């Protein structure tokens, strides 16, 4: 395995859920660099296989998972911990979104976003609680929208706010077992999830204008924060929902719905 960085000893095992692209992929790469044997899990098996093929040498594996399916999540963790010795880090990066005003958004779309982001987050946390060892860590990816509302984003905002509070509850419950539970809440990071919004005229400029550091973040910057939260350097931190947004939480959220309406010529 590669040399250890970030305080993570070799011989440790990690599972990255949603590791097939974007921030999840960057987390898988970083944890592999830190010396973990990484299971990259994604609903898209080809994407997971691609990520594993590019990881530093080590005992890494790809897996298929559907985070909304309890049996699928349980099977993933049983396989990742097949010898019963436990896992040392779990990262939940699975997510989806939609856009629509509260008065117009179909209930099925609202439920679908909550199912992936919040119920899926719960299922991952539940299995992590059963498989992570004393001294291990669980990190979820929430969002700036866990604390900052965005027009047209009721489902995503509600789901991420719920995941942030779920992080705190799990930290409270799992602390006595020596398991730390934290989250990272990124602002604008250009990934396959956010790319469609970036194609809407004015959206990216609006984001950047409301970010004091004046630029989007990168998946690698988010992965660095996740790496630290999984390492012994953060051994006294749990229940934290870490803002990582270039200061965007101090400003206003972009008017996504307004930009969409202007693009479509809707008054």
Summarised one tens digit per residue, pLDDT across range 124-174 is 999 999 999 999 999 999 999 999 999 999 999 999 999 999 999 999 999
Q: Domain locations in the chain? A: 13-264
- The CA-based angle 242-40-76, given to 5 degrees, is 100
Q: Reply yes or no on whether 156 is catalytic.
A: yes
> Residue 87: which H helix or E strand, with range?
strand 87-92
Q: Please give the mean pLDDT across all residues of the chain.
A: 93
Q: Kindly tell me if the per-residue pLDDT of 1 is higher than 90.
A: no
**pLDDT range class, residue 266, cuts 50, 70, 90:** confident
Residue 220, helix vs strand vs coil: helix
Would you identify the CATH topology of the domain 13-264? Rossmann fold (3.40.50)
| CB contact at 8 A, 129 and 179 | yes
DSSP 50-85: HHHHTSPSSS-EEEE--TT-HHHHHHHHHHHTTTSS
Q: How many CA atoms lie within 13 A of 114 on its CB side?
A: 11
Q: d(Cα 237, Cα 182) in Å, to the nearest integer?
A: 8
């Amino acid at each position: 395995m590669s040399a250890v960085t970030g305080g993570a000893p070799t011989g440790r095992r990690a599972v990255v859920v949603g590791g097939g692209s974007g921030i999840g992929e960057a987390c898988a790469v970083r944890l592999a660099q830190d010396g973990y044997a990484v299971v990259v899990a994604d609903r898209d098996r080809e994407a997971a296989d691609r990520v594993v093929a590019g990881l530093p040498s080590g005992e890494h594996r790809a897996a298929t998972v559907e985070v909304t399916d309890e049996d699928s999540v349980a099977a993933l963790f049983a396989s990742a911990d097949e010898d019963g010795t436990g896992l040392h880090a779990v990262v939940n990066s699975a997510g989806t979104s939609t856009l629509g005003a509260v008065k117009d958004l179909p209930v099925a779309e609202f439920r679908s976003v909550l199912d992936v982001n919040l119920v899926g987050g719960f299922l991952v946390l539940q299995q992590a609680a059963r498989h992570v060892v004393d001294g291990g860590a669980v990190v979820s990816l929430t969002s700036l929208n866990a604390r900052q509302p965005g027009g047209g984003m009721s489902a995503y905002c509600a789901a991420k706010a719920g995941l942030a509070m779920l992080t705190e509850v799990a930290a409270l419950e799992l602390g006595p077992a020596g398991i730390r539970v934290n989250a990272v809440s990124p602002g604008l990071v250009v990934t396959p999830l956010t790319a469609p919004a970036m194609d809407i005229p004015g959206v990216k400029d609006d984001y950047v204008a409301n970010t004091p550091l004046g630029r989007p973040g990168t998946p690698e910057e988010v992965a660095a924060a996740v790496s630290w939260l999984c390492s012994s350097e953060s051994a006294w931190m749990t229940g934290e929902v870490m803002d990582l947004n270039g200061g965007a939480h101090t400003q206003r959220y972009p008017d996504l719905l307004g930009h969409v309406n202007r693009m479509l010529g809707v008054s």
